[in-house]
Amino acid sequence: MVLATGYMDVFLLPDFYAFDMEKTKDKLEIILKYFGDFTTTQLKQLEQLDSLYQEWNAAINVISRKDIDSLYEKHVLHSLAIAAWFNFSPGIEIIDIGTGGGFPGVPLAIFFPEVKFHLVDSIGKKLKVVNAVADALELKNISTFHGRAEDIKTRKFDFAVSRAVAPLKDLWNWSKPLIRNERKMESFKNGLICLKGGDLAAEIAESTLRPHIRDIQSFFNEPYFYEKYVLYIPV
């Protein structure tokens, strides 16, 4: 997958899919503005996210009511900031700690169909939504676990990802025991990748860690991403 340099960089869609795209092109355009080379299956999956989350969110509130109409910007594209930095290799295994309604795990699973994602949350009703969405999208690369990351004792992963779940110190303490040392990617060591926002100076100082940090506005220029960051801590 590549970052697109503009909307016109996205390839032309087959005629049979153009009508469906037309219905939500204003929402998907923010994704296609930055990413190209989606398969038809991936485009259909992205398109379905809107109706699936609208339906489930009416029954089980996993996304703020004020944000649900900005799903593609505030949740899908935000999650894909990880994909803008990391090009995960096929066969990589990733744990999403505190996935909530499935972010960043679900968008990343669409983006990387040959990568395995294990989505973890302690709240069962949230995982009910995640499982329903994954089933509807036929995402075979998603598994879930109802519980806390600390409860996982028999599995190891190449990376841990998380979005606005806990302080960096806690995230590192939870994820480090779950990350295997053997690396599968030449460009990046295994580690923790998390999405955070605001002034992180105190949080980073308290953690005593030295994360690599990328400003999300270096990937996406929407005002929403002001003071939002991707943090990466290699093992």
Tracing tokens 């080379």 back to the chain, one arrives at 37
Of residues 51, 40, 37, the one with CA closest to residue 14: 40
The answer to whether 49 and 71 are in contact (CB under 8 A) is yes
* Confidence band for 12, pLDDT divided at 50, 70 and 90: very low
Task: Report whether pLDDT(55) > 50.
Answer: yes
What would the pLDDT profile of 133-153 be if each residue is shown by its tens digit? 999 999 999 999 999 999 999
Element (H, E) at 106: helix 105-111
The CA-based dihedral angle spanning residues 167, 170, 171, 173, taken in that order and rounded to the nearest 10 degrees: 160
- Residue-wise DSSP of 42-62: HHHHHHHHHHHHHHHHHHS--
What would the pLDDT profile of 18-42 be if each residue is shown by its tens digit? 435 566 566 689 999 999 889 999 9
The answer to whether 197 and 229 are in contact (CB under 8 A) is yes
What would the pLDDT profile of 92-103 be if each residue is shown by its tens digit? 999 999 999 999
* Confidence band for 65, pLDDT divided at 50, 70 and 90: confident
The total number of structural domains that make up the chain = 1
211: domain CATH number? 3.40.50.150
Domain of residue 8: give its range: 2-234
* Confidence band for 2, pLDDT divided at 50, 70 and 90: low
Q: How far apart are the first and last CA of the chain?
A: 26
Of residues 108, 136, 116, the one with CA closest to residue 1: 108
